[in-house]
Amino acid sequence: MKLAILIFPIIILFLGSCNQTQKNNDISGFGGKTEKCLQCHAGVTGFVESHNPEKIGCSSCHLGNPRSIVKDAAHKNMILIPGNLRNAKTTCGSLNCHPGIAERIDSSVMSTMSGIISVNKFAFDEIKEPVGKFHIEKINDSAAGSHLKNLCASCHLGNEKKNLGPVTELRRGGGCNACHLNYSSNAISELKKYESIKTTGPDSALLKFHPSLSIKVTNMHCFGCHSRSGRISTNYEGWHETDLTEKDVRGKKGYRKLEDGRIFRFVQPDVHFEKGLACIDCHTSYEIMGDGQSYEHKEQQLQVVCSDCHFSGQPETLTTVDFDYESKKIAQLSGAFQTSRRFLKIKKTGRPLVNAFIDASGEAKLVTKLTNDTLKLLSPAFECTAAPHENIACQTCHTAWAPQCIGCHTTFEPGTAGYDLLNNKPVQGSWVEFHGEYLAEFPSLGVRETPGGKEIVTVIPGMILSIDKSKFTGKQNDLIFKRLFAPVFSHTIIKKAAGCKTCHNNPLAIGYGRGNLKFNSGNWSFQPKYSNSDFDGLPEDAWIGFLKEPGKNIATRKNIRPFTVTEQKKILDVGACLTCHGNDKKIMRAMLEDFERVKLSKTAACKAYLK
């Protein structure tokens, strides 16, 4: 009996420990503390060098009790999926690893969704202007708040990753994992093996391939969230959403079904995508993870502009001596850290573009971060920098198309089963959207007012829709109509700029909507394609009336507006000349240099035509 009492605890200890006792696999983690994790998890591969457990240990990411070989004790308080923002400050963002970044991400618009919230509240008449700083985790259960929870709230970085697995088209959130998690084919095979055995007894100690965490951020990492709303991930690759079904396109070329079931039609990809550039080749770590400041809208957090790479004259440059710590580290890990190079300087921040430089011959080059291809950076053409165009954003002329939708409706249906995407739970009652016509065409243009002046930018219908709140608020006929255009960088850039007529003779570009814009006997006329809305009398797809002053509160930004009548007339003045001259290089170049002089020197035929 006494012998049994002595043996029983030994059996329990053996069963609670790992089987690998043949070799001492202790490792030294941060601070010189001994870790025994590899006593059970020896031989695991798949890590990048900077995350090799033999250098940083296992507990720096997974916590737990690394000094025990008893399974339950070793795994106590362990974090299976590090990187979620709720624990990032004690894992990825600890003082030993990446201090300060978790705090930056907290204030990033990819975590707060501030602009989406303010525009949504503005659309629902809960605030008077689309301004203010908000955080998705603090929204209430108002009509606007419940609308966001039903349809939009899954795309913030704070959305917790709860299941193992690689980043896919359907992935949302995950904190640090959202960008930095990469599964190799071996790691995926091991995951399938683990999923098949985890309920039958054996545990993860049998697995030998670990997913990696690295700065290899592919376009797929961005896809889950950015294939919605402005759809810049799908735009970039040339795909435009349709309302077709899988049955409609079965056997047809030029269509693509996403993992969520949506059908996309191929239109035209961005020239940067065709050249092999990934999202991270333009967007820096300070744009993606934030710079520690909080912003109202995403464009305020962005730092890199087209002219940082496509410049005229001599650019400002930096050497590696001038790099901040984070830029230096990224350059080293990506292989771009060369002390002899002159790297291009981002005008807005003064930080370096770590993959763009001036070579020994004086040419501007860019090295793609994922494939290490070297590309030549081109300078803007004369037309881009001529005085009449100096305040026009690059995408205004170089956008091929932008996704647009008109005539939409959203309503609350109390009897419809819904889902709270913020709290990840089913709810009763849901907001339901009925979309209008999907279009892939040249965008409209508008004016962004800035402290330094004004800039002509591309805009699309952020929402031309009616919102029925009656069944949510209990108020009869609680209906809202909004005609709000939104600034957009559609990520469908083309090398050859749009022709002059694309802006000056195009009613859609000017803001009138689609239709027939004609110049005859010295006068312009416009016949819209779509009928006028019952709500505000404008054509269904218009932003402004033909040669009418714009109204108020018709944009998703306070500093964005349509063209005034004076500005419309200036655009149409050039358009009048284009009805005969087209894109004639000699005349149009002269007009760019001095339009008023060319107008005064017009021929008798011009005078008779223009009157």
9 confidence band (pLDDT: 50, 70, 90) = very low
Distances (CA, A) of 579 to 63, 75, 347, 443: 71, 75, 39, 21
611 pLDDT more than 80: no
Give SS3 for 241.
strand
Contact status, residue 155 vs residue 225, Cβ threshold 8 Å: yes
Alpha helix positions (H), 355-446: 382-385, 394-398
One-letter identity of residue 517:
L
Element (H, E) at 560: strand 560-561
Residue 457 has pLDDT above 60, yes or no: yes
Instruction: Indicate the pTM of the whole model.
Output: 0.91
CA distances from 338 to 329, 343, 351, 373, 374 (A): 12, 10, 16, 16, 15
Q: Can you tell me the mean pLDDT for 284-310?
A: 96
The mean-pLDDT minimum among 252-256, 440-444, 497-501, 592-596 falls in 592-596
Among residues 378, 304, 386, which one has the least CA distance to residue 345?
Answer: 304
Return the closest-CA partner of residue 302 out of 248, 245, 347, 255.
347
Work out whether strand 408-420 and strand 523-528 pair parallel, antiparallel, or are unpaired: unpaired
Confidence class of residue 583 from pLDDT cuts 50, 70 and 90? confident
The closest of 337, 347, 344 to 318, measured between CA atoms, is: 344
Looking at residue 163, its pLDDT comes to 92
177: left (phi over 0), alpha (psi -120 to 50) or beta: alpha
Both tokens assigned to 28: 């030294």
So where are the chain's domains? 230-277, 384-610
Name the more confident of 404 and 201. Answer: 404
For residue 598, the model assigns a pLDDT of 77
pLDDT at 14: 33
Q: Assess whether pLDDT exceeds 60 at residue 570.
A: yes
What percent of the chain is modeled with pLDDT above 90? 75
- The single-letter code of the amino acid at 237 is E
Length of the chain, in residues: 611
Please report, to the nearest 10 degrees, the dihedral formed by the alpha carbons of residues 504, 510, 513, 517 taken in order: -30
